[in-house]
Amino acid sequence: MYVSFYHIPAMCSAAHEQRVRQALIPFSALLLEHCIDVDARHLALYHQDPIETVTVALQRLNLGAELQQTMPHYEPSVLATAKKKTATGQLNPSENNTLNQLQQFLSKFLARFAQWLKTLRKK
């Protein structure tokens, strides 16, 4: 995996940040992740393959985007394995816990809603 760092000097507002995000959409299959720091006016792109086309798209925004450097990015094998399992449809423990909590909430909500409907029908 590689990480490419860009400096975008004219990215000074949420509107500019949104323009950068929209410019990245066509490259979602190429990019693994991105991180935008508006205050520092930096963009980090995580990718496996070369991203010259992304650089050209960012430069077309006329915000002064400049590729500073691309370097290898170390990803621990444990993290890489967890991402692969999640990508294949298996849930990680935190997602599983969240879904269980949501299921419990909805079950209780529906039970109380049914009680409320019964009460209204009796009146």
The per-type count for the chain, helices as H runs and strands as E runs, is 4, 4
21: tokens are 């995000």
* pLDDT of amino acid 1: 86
User: Which of 34-43, 76-85, 88-97, 109-118 has the highest mean predicted lDDT (pLDDT)?
Assistant: 34-43
pLDDT tens-digit map of 26-82: 999 999 999 999 999 999 999 999 999 999 999 999 999 999 999 998 765 555 555
| Helices 52-59, 14-24: inter-axial angle, 10-degree rounding | 140
**To the nearest whole number, what is the mean pLDDT of the chain?**
85
Q: Where are the domains of the chain?
A: 2-72, 77-122
Look at the domain 2-72 and name its fold.
Alpha-Beta Plaits (3.30.70)
